[in-house]
Structure 1
Amino acid sequence: MNNTIRRLAYGPWLGLGLILLILLLWEVSATLKWISPLSLPKVSDVAITLFELVKSGELPRELAASLWRMFVGYFIGVLLGIAVGLLMGAFRPAYKLLEPVTEILRPIPSPAYVPVAILFLGIDNEMKIFMVAFSAFFPVLLNTYSGVRGVDPVQLQTAGTFGVKGVRRLWEVVLPAAAPSIFTGMRISLAVALIVMVISEMVAASDGIGYFILAAQRGFKVQAMFAGIVTLAVVGYALNRVFLMIENRVLAWHHGAMQQSKN
């Protein structure tokens, strides 16, 4: 009995039960009209609409356009963030040069740059890719820099003793040691990229999941609007789970070392 309770408490069922409870309250509230159906349709109606949109191919088509933009921008931002973070962490002059600019640009919310991006890049894919890349850049940059600065000096001294210096030391010693911090920044950036992608499509786009949600709201297609929001929730959750699987595989050595240190 105790083992059963422990499995329920520490397994995935507790969180899943909370989600089901929320959906049940949503369904009951809409059915009993505690909240206007015009604002909050029944879960069952949203599910039917979602099924129809998927079956017709409309929702997958809009989602595919969004994910293409998001992943292109995300990988550009990640690569630049890692490169600049390594540079700033390993070379003090680079940090002194780039730190003021970074701290000026970083606190400004990414959506505030959308009007500027539209002026320079228009409203096509280039603007949206730039916005995603820009927003994904800073979390990766900061976490890469922190990871590089946190490398154990003993590792660096040992590498120097064996003649591993310069770019080789950066690639073979510093980058692997900073990898856990880099992956943390990448995970944060993935969520930020999804948010900024949706915002940029709501501001200026003719397709994409953000445009679809806003168009549904403007057309008073409330069920379709919620179907789009639910789709985003599912996609966001799936992306996070896939990222964690990749992280656990790539950083298996790190997790193994942490487990041994605890034991």
Structure 2
Amino acid sequence: MNARAVTSDVLLGMVPIALLIAIWQAVGSLGYAPATLLPPPGMVFARLAQQLLTSTFQQEIAATLFRLFAGFLIAVVVGVTIGLFAATNPAINAVVRPIVRVLAPLPKVALYPALLLLLGFGHESKITLVVADALFPILLSTYYGASMVEQKLIWSAMAAGTPRRQILFKVVLPAAVPSILTGCRIGLVISCIVVFLAEMITSTDGLGHVLVTAARTFQAVDMFVPLITISLLGLILNGLLQGLRSYLLRGFPEV
């Protein structure tokens, strides 16, 4: 993908965001919502710029990012590992498939009270909730990506003398990378949502805690600041992951 195409995609992507901000401004300017409940975007972004310069708000962001990255990385390692082995080993597949069918549709946030009792109110319960939610899209994407690898690639590797135990990492894993990265992008978005929600439910720090604290004191501007922040963080992280995907798949026709 050349620089002109990237620039065009970025500009097109900014259009709906600009439109959303314009609607936000219009709703307040036309009097459909009072400024005390829906502050204008200029006020919110000014407050965000001010907060970003404070060490306290930076620490809140750091706490959220730590939980997000810890949970997401664990989900990637576990999901890719289980997905690969389930796709290539019928016995493991027979064990994993019913577990995934039962647990994947379950709203993991329903398990959060139990996680709080088991792991406490610190990082552990929130990281575990992120892992539980981000795991399944990564696992399923890995499984289907590895299952769709053409059998002739495996036969060719075996004919070339590749040991059977190395085929998984030299043939199946590279061929499944596009699907794995797609699952990782979905898992990353889910991780951003879940960590924010967990901090809103119970936490003494993090962006979710900032929002709840502002809501309890009726500070509407400060309520919107963490929302905009987590959205920007998700946008940046998604862009970085997309850049990594383009780099890793630069030899693939679709990239």
The two structures have a TM-score, normalised by structure 1, of 0.90
Partner of residue 69, structure 2: 71
Q: 2: distance between equivalents of 1:17 and 1:158?
A: 47
Q: 1: distance between equivalents of 2:245 and 2:12?
A: 24
Partner of residue 103, structure 1: 101
1:182-219 deviation line (CA, Å, top 9, x unaligned): 11111110001111111111111100011111111111
Structure 1 segments (4+ residues) deviating >4 Å: none
- Secondary structure of residue in 2 paired with 1:254: coil
**How has the CA–CA distance of structure 1 residues 11 and 117 changed in structure 2, closer, same or farther, with 3 Å as cutoff?**
closer
Conserved 8 A contact 2:211-2:226:
yes
Partner of residue 218, structure 1: 216
Q: Within 5 Å, give how 1:36-51 maps onto structure 2.
A: 36-51=34-49
Partner of residue 35, structure 1: 33
Conserved 8 A contact 1:41-1:222:
yes
Q: 2: distance between equivalents of 1:163 and 1:139?
A: 34
Amino acid at match of 2:117: L
Q: How many pairs are equivalent?
A: 250
Percent identity among equivalent residues?
31
Conserved 8 A contact 2:75-2:132:
yes
Q: 2: distance between equivalents of 1:220 and 1:48?
A: 18
Deviates more, 1:19-28 or 1:138-147: 19-28
Q: 1: distance between equivalents of 2:20 and 2:158?
A: 57
Conserved 8 A contact 2:62-2:206:
yes
**How has the CA–CA distance of structure 1 residues 94 and 237 changed in structure 2, closer, same or farther, with 3 Å as cutoff?**
same
Conserved 8 A contact 1:27-1:42:
yes
**How has the CA–CA distance of structure 1 residues 15 and 186 changed in structure 2, closer, same or farther, with 3 Å as cutoff?**
closer
Q: 1: distance between equivalents of 2:103 and 2:126?
A: 18
Q: 1:171 aligns with which of 169, 172, 183?
A: 169
- Secondary structure of residue in 2 paired with 1:108: coil
**Cα shift at 1:165:** 3.1
Gaps of 5+ in 1: 1-6
Output the aligned Cα RMSD: 1.8
Is 1:186 the counterpart of 2:203? The answer is: no
Conserved 8 A contact 1:110-1:196:
no
Partner of residue 195, structure 2: 197
Q: 1: distance between equivalents of 2:223 and 2:214?
A: 5
- Which entry has the higher C-alpha Rg, 1 or 2? 1
**Cα shift at 1:48:** 2.0
Q: 2: distance between equivalents of 1:69 and 1:12?
A: 29
Conserved 8 A contact 2:158-2:164:
no
1:106-127 deviation line (CA, Å, top 9, x unaligned): 1101211111211211111111
The two structures have a TM-score, normalised by structure 2, of 0.92
Gaps of 5+ in 2: none
Partner of residue 141, structure 2: 143
**Cα shift at 1:81:** 0.4
